Structure 1
Amino acid sequence: MQIEADYGDVFLSKKLIKSGLIVSVMTLVSRVLGLIRDVVIANVMGTGLMADVFLFANKIPNFLRRLFAEGAFAQAFVPVLSEYQVKDEQQAEEEGKQNNHEKTRILIGQVSGTLGVIITGVTLFGMLASPLFVMLFGFGWFADWYSDAPGGEKFTLASNLLSITFPYLWFISFAALSGAVLNTMGRFAVAAFTPVLLNIAIISMAIFGAPYTQSPAHALAWGVFLGGLIQFLFQIPFLYKTGMLVKPKWSWHSEGVSKIRKLIVPALFGVSVTQINLLLDTLIASFLITGSISWLYYADRLLEFPLGLFGIGIATVVLPSLSKLHSNNSPEEFSATIDWGIRVISLFGWPALAGLMVLAQPIIMVLFMRGEFSQHDVIQVSMALFAYLSGLLSFMFIKILAPGYYARQDTKTPVKIGIKAMVANMFFNLMLAPFLGYVGLALATTLSATLNAWLLYRGLKAKGVYELPTKTLIFIGKLVLSALVMVLVVYQLSSEFEVWLAMNFLKQVEQLTLCILAGVASYLVMIILLGVRLSDFKVIKR
């Protein structure tokens, strides 16, 4: 279904824009604190043995979080929850009564009880079997430990840290469930703010807890544990205020849970392809030189800043909106909302890509180069970042296109696409890693994500759900041209790597700020000159 713009017929714009702004602002706060957290980690541990091990121990529960929390679970839960809310609204309207959300409350109780039993079992197993997880995803370390080779201590330390960080999965799963409920109720700010608490906990433990633990890595692991606990407790009062804090109940065979089960099984794989690819990267990186995992981590964190701020922020408000539009049988509005998401992330994604490409090394230098983080690490991280950045828009488009399937309760198609993308990623890994090392792993992830995004779009187009309108293609072309002008301006203002190194910290910050402000100004001037207006971001229908 191709949508040609008719700006006189506008709907949902104000609500989507307001919700998007709320989520983006809260996400910005979280991402800034996340960067501060990474600065602290880089200062305390650098990119050596302890850093590799802690980042590994933190990655496993975060991967499972994508499955049991805001990843596949949310993609299956939110459409069903929206459907139940629509039913409650329709029933209340037919009976002329106030909506008490009876069906919605019952569903939440059934889902929380069923999820609780499963997550408790997975968490306990993970804590007891942490060496098994390390063996599976860090086999290079296990091989060193088994053969008493140098570096074998990584396996022992990773097993110990993983047993501390694994309960984070339990806490964050329920925090994510609460966030999904609040988002569907239109309360986006609470769930968007919650990650701030994790960053505060990790930073606090790194600064104040390290003297009281075995190592800085142990302090950070306990920070992850406490951060999960605080996030879980923080959501409870807001659920109570909205009337959605209900008693959990095991209901494996109930209608709502059964529906979610059918949706979540394929979604477990489909929505988490990127995370699975990152774990496969970690497995291969365990065979590479020490520092590879850390270099990939810091590059990924810088990539996650614009991806989380714009891609995930916009996707957070798009999914509930799409789910309700599908339940209300509004295909034109459904397609227009996807198009709105594509336009918004394109507006921010292209300059983010251009700016990070040109200023990668100065940004890494200013943020991380102190303490145990060296000049050599700056260069290594920047190389991985360049590889990741080439797929930034692909990562963002996936965040908008995938909900186009899940909101329609179609989880089979993304699974098929996900399998193709993961197979391609393994092929790219094996093809590139022997020659490019950890940079090859980053590039493989980018190539597979691009394939994933293309196949998602092609599938929506084939089903008549969404096709890029001509005006949107022209709009994106204007943004790309503006970003290229921005690159030229920033490149002229920036200095050579050696010159940046010779500057003191304050001078580096001053020069970097000047480059960023000039880049933003040139981008804004160009998009205005090329005719981009606020009306381009209204949700429109044919």
Structure 2
Amino acid sequence: MSLFKAASLISLLTLASRITGLMRELLMASAFGASAMTDAFNVAFRIPNMLRRLFAEGAFSQAFVPVLAAAKEKDGEAATKVMIDHIATVMAWALTATCVLGVAGAPILVWALAAGLQQDPAGFEAAVFMTRWMFPYIAFMSLVALSAGILNTWKRFAVPAATPVLLNLAMIAAAWWGAPWFASLGINPIYAMAGGVMLGGALQLGVQIPALRALGLLPRIHWRWAGLRDAWRHPGTRRVTTLMLPALLGVSVAQVSLLINTQIASHLRTGSVSWLSYADRLMEFPTALLGVALGVVLLPQLAAAKAQDDAERYSGLLDWGLRLVVLLAVPSAVALLTFAQPLVAVLYHYGAFTDADVRQTALALMGYGLGLLGLVAIKVLAPGYYASQDIRTPVKIAIVVLVFTQLLNLAFVPWLAHAGLALSIGLGALLNAGWLLVGLLRRGAYRPGPGWWRFVLQVVAASAMLAIYLLWAGTGLGWLAAPGAAWARVLQLLLVLGGAATLYFVVLLLGGVKLREFVRK
């Protein structure tokens, strides 16, 4: 499977995940709006999600995939399977201890993440209760990350990309059927969402097992102490652990930033945490469809190129990824900046979600949108370092960016409230991506191909035409006028976005951009 086809497959499956994710958010927004209880759920769900990004999809994946790809290239599949068993064993023991500590320490975790919830004691207690129920979700997702790393390295991209749909379907069922049922029993209906999260985690892990078994790579976990001792002594385990330490610091920087921003938002107007969460869900569309898909495809290939000492292929992979980022992320950022309110209105403006909620969520979305190019480019540039098993450099950059982001918060939050938090993240992402790019250029690891400046001018010209069109569509049509006419507004949105995509790519073709080159490369 070519890189473009693999990335397209992952993007298509990720699109299904994001569509079902939006359905879940739409149901939650309609049923619960933006209230103290939704703030409590979002904080409780963010705790295992934060740890998932910190350990599972963050530090562990960054360390595990390059080591796994190198072992597959140099040692063969039999030795690699032994390494997988040992790493899975250490992970299982660590996850068991983590879950016990997390459930016991839930009040401390909620206070550390959102002390402002204590202004409403009922909201704080609800957040603690839901954190205890949802904390084991981190165990499911860590094992899913292990499975995804194996499957992606063996170029089996479909199952890992499709599994997030199962979480969304479980949460949709919880909002659609579980919440009314809980309400009929006199139980707060928001608690049904915690059950949906746990069901989704179990389903995501369950579908990985047949795929791993088909490859003969289903990990064998040793639960005896002697098995743990042997697993810990394996060189592959030691190498992943060694790489995880700086990776953990690097991912921690991003999560510390998220923790600080959530803490700040919890002290702002009621609903601020929810507005940011709803905007973040929309941001996941372009970042996942573009950045995550490219990162998943490129990291094993970059690691293999490094293991084979193929500098030309390594640089060519980065060049292809960055051109695709510019081609697709720039118009996406333009759309978020010029068309944010119609997007939010069509997707969320139902039931308890008010006109004011639409405007506040749109402001946050615009702040994120300003840094979209950086957020997506990081997913291509950072693997350029991870593939070389250099995790320290991105960590150092991330620490400086954290300080920069919090300084921006001091300036923006008093002026823009919750939207200032999103804007700071966006600007910090641009700085991070620019710094990573300069580092690869200075090392000579990345050598840009010919025609970059002309390509950038072509994309900017097409994006300018796109901006004019979307500004007209955003102001000339009544997106907030009829919140009840759901299907009419959805159809209107699809027509506008279809016209926007057609306009953008037609202008590119007229400007001389050869889109087929991206497919061939």
TM-score category (smaller protein): over 0.9
Residue 138 (structure 1) aligned to one of 110, 114, 133:
114
Q: Tell which has more relative contact order, 1 or 2 (C-alpha 8 A, sep 6+).
A: 1
The answer to whether the 8 Å contact 1:201/1:223 transfers is: yes
Separation (CA, whole Å) in 1 of partners of 2:15 and 2:54: 24
Separation (CA, whole Å) in 2 of partners of 1:256 and 1:193: 29
The answer to whether the 8 Å contact 1:278/1:445 transfers is: no
Q: CA deviation at 1:470?
A: 4.8
Q: CA deviation at 1:137?
A: 1.0
The answer to whether the 8 Å contact 2:45/2:131 transfers is: yes
Matched, 1:220 2:189: no
Matched, 1:313 2:328: no
Task: Show the counterpart of 1:4.
Answer: none
Residue 17 (structure 2) aligned to one of 30, 46, 63:
30
- Within a 5 Å distance, the mapping from 1:347-496 to structure 2 comes to 347-496=327-476
Residue 90 (structure 2) aligned to one of 114, 117, 134:
114
Identity of aligned residues (%): 40
Task: Show the counterpart of 1:201.
Answer: 170
Separation (CA, whole Å) in 2 of partners of 1:499 and 1:349: 25
Matched, 1:128 2:104: yes
Matched, 1:303 2:283: yes
Task: Show the counterpart of 1:66.
Answer: 53
Deviations 1:35-58 (A, max 9, x none): 111101111111111111111111
Separation (CA, whole Å) in 2 of partners of 1:462 and 1:264: 25
The answer to whether the 8 Å contact 1:27/1:192 transfers is: yes
Partner of 2:6, secondary structure, is helix
Partner of 1:216, secondary structure, is coil
Partner of 2:207, secondary structure, is helix
Partner of 2:2, secondary structure, is helix
Separation (CA, whole Å) in 2 of partners of 1:539 and 1:468: 18
Q: CA deviation at 1:498?
A: 5.4
Matched, 1:523 2:504: yes
Q: CA deviation at 1:496?
A: 4.4
The answer to whether the 8 Å contact 2:13/2:162 transfers is: yes
The worse-fitting range, judged by mean Cα deviation, of 490-499 and 396-405 is 490-499
The answer to whether the 8 Å contact 1:66/1:272 transfers is: no
User: C-alpha root-mean-square deviation of aligned residues, in Å?
Assistant: 1.7
The worse-fitting range, judged by mean Cα deviation, of 321-330 and 483-492 is 483-492
Residue 231 (structure 1) aligned to one of 204, 209, 230:
204
Separation (CA, whole Å) in 2 of partners of 1:339 and 1:539: 14
Residue 81 (structure 1) aligned to one of 47, 50, 68:
68
Task: Show the counterpart of 1:537.
Answer: 518
Separation (CA, whole Å) in 2 of partners of 1:539 and 1:455: 29
The answer to whether the 8 Å contact 2:342/2:479 transfers is: no
The answer to whether the 8 Å contact 1:340/1:539 transfers is: no
Task: Show the counterpart of 2:225.
Answer: none
Q: CA deviation at 1:502?
A: 4.6
TM-score for both structures, normalised by structure 1:
0.91
> Cα–Cα, structure 1 residues 287 and 276, in superposed 2: closer, same or farther, change >3 Å?
same
Deviations 1:414-458 (A, max 9, x none): 111111111112211222212221111111111211111111111
Which amino acid is the alignment partner of residue 441 of structure 1?
L
Q: Structure 1 residue runs of 4+, over 6 Å off? A: none
Separation (CA, whole Å) in 2 of partners of 1:499 and 1:424: 36
Structure 2: segments with no counterpart, 5+ residues: 223-227
Matched, 1:44 2:24: no
Separation (CA, whole Å) in 1 of partners of 2:376 and 2:78: 36
Which amino acid is the alignment partner of residue 102 of structure 1?
A
Task: Show the counterpart of 2:6.
Answer: 19
The worse-fitting range, judged by mean Cα deviation, of 329-338 and 247-256 is 247-256
The answer to whether the 8 Å contact 1:61/1:166 transfers is: yes
Residue 514 (structure 1) aligned to one of 479, 491, 495:
495
Deviations 1:182-223 (A, max 9, x none): 000010001000101000000011111113432222111111
Partner of 1:70, secondary structure, is helix
Separation (CA, whole Å) in 2 of partners of 1:136 and 1:505: 39
Q: CA deviation at 1:165?
A: 1.0
Give the number of equivalent residue pairs.
Answer: 509
Which amino acid is the alignment partner of residue 174 of structure 1?
L
- Within a 5 Å distance, the mapping from 1:160-175 to structure 2 comes to 160-175=129-144
Partner of 2:57, secondary structure, is coil
Matched, 1:154 2:123: yes
Which amino acid is the alignment partner of residue 112 of structure 1?
A
Separation (CA, whole Å) in 1 of partners of 2:268 and 2:327: 37
Q: CA deviation at 1:267?
A: 0.5
Q: CA deviation at 1:291?
A: 0.5
The answer to whether the 8 Å contact 1:63/1:276 transfers is: no
The worse-fitting range, judged by mean Cα deviation, of 506-515 and 114-123 is 506-515
Structure 1: segments with no counterpart, 5+ residues: 1-13, 90-100, 145-150
Separation (CA, whole Å) in 2 of partners of 1:497 and 1:490: 11
Which amino acid is the alignment partner of residue 58 of structure 1?
F
